[in-house]
Amino acid sequence: MQTAIEVRDLEKTYGQGETAFRALDGVNLDLHAGQVTLLMGPSGSGKTTLVSIMGCILRPTAGTVRVLGREVQNLDESALPAVRLNHIGFVFQGFNLFPTLTAGENVELALDLKGLRGRAARRRSEELMDQVGLSGKYTSFPADLSGGQKQRVAIARALAGDPAILLADEPTAALDFASGRLVLDRLRDLAHRRGRAVGIVTHDNRALEYADRIVHIEDGRIQ
Ligand SMILES: Nc1ncnc2c1ncn2[C@@H]1O[C@H](COP(=O)(O)OP(=O)(O)O)[C@@H](O)[C@H]1O
Ligand SMILES: [Mg+2]
């Protein structure tokens, strides 16, 4: 099985001197294509820090991160967005949709970053909305969607770059039971049917049955 993300001896320290705080301490972790890996742990254990580093949003203090075989921890600021754009889709707990754009336009905006515009973008955006079960919601505004629908728009948007890796930080935290399941269903589909490496940070026990692997983190260490 291909290793999509490989993390070795990862450390992350926030702040300096007296106020320095080690949020990650010697973390080793692999995410594989075609699998859902759940990252579970109590609040403050380092989950967001870890998934942000894997998603090339945050830099580690020490250790190595390989994305599809390529070391990224030393890439400079200008090179990291390209790695993110081409290989990694990221879904946040809070949806982060633009309220003045329709659901479909939110997805099109991400396609624009990949250089896809006009009719081709519209077609692709419709396809992605379809993949997450929202084909009828193209012209709806975020305010008129349920939490679960908004989160699925966020997943469609994360798929804009056709990434091999999809990372989600507490994607069901703001959702009711049924909506949470729909979101997890989609994430599992993307791993099992489309071969993506899916990493989900959660402390939602509903997610357990969707996991191929479960990794526990506590005080910045994998248990
Ligand atoms: N920017 C930051 N500056 C200082 N400390 C931080 C920062 N971000 C997170 N932390 C601390 O690092 C620890 C891990 O945080 P986080 O990765 O957000 O954990 P989790 O997502 O598991 O709740 C917490 O103690 C948190 O307070
Ligand atoms: Mg967190």
| Strands, sheet with 221-222, edge to edge from the N-terminal-most edge strand | 88-91, 165-169, 197-202, 36-40, 213-218, 221-222
Contact indicator for 47, 201 with CB cutoff of 8 Å: yes
Nearest CA to ligand 1 atom 18: 48
Which ligand number lies closest to the CA of residue 24? Answer: 1
CA distance 154 to 95: 6
Domains in the chain, start-ordered, CATH in brackets? 3-222 (3.40.50.300)
Nearest CA to ligand 1 atom 17: 46
Mean pLDDT of residues grouped by 10 in the chain (223 residues)?
91 94 97 97 96 94 96 88 90 90 95 92 94 92 94 92 93 86 90 96 91 97 95
Task: Return the DSSP state at 165.
Answer: E
- Which atom of ligand 1 is nearest the CA belonging to 12? 12
User: pLDDT at position 193, please?
Assistant: 94
Nearest CA to ligand 1 atom 2: 14
Neighbours of ion ligand 2 (CB under 5 A): 47-48
- Which atom of ligand 1 is nearest the CA belonging to 43? 23
Cα(201) to centroid(ligand 2), Å: 8
CA distance 182 to 178: 6
User: pLDDT at position 1, please?
Assistant: 62
User: pLDDT at position 24, please?
Assistant: 98
**Which of 84, 3, 83, 11 shows the shortest CA–CA distance to 49?**
11
Which ligand number lies closest to the CA of residue 43? Answer: 1
Ligand 1: lining residues by beta carbon, under 6 Å: 14-15, 21, 23, 41, 43-49
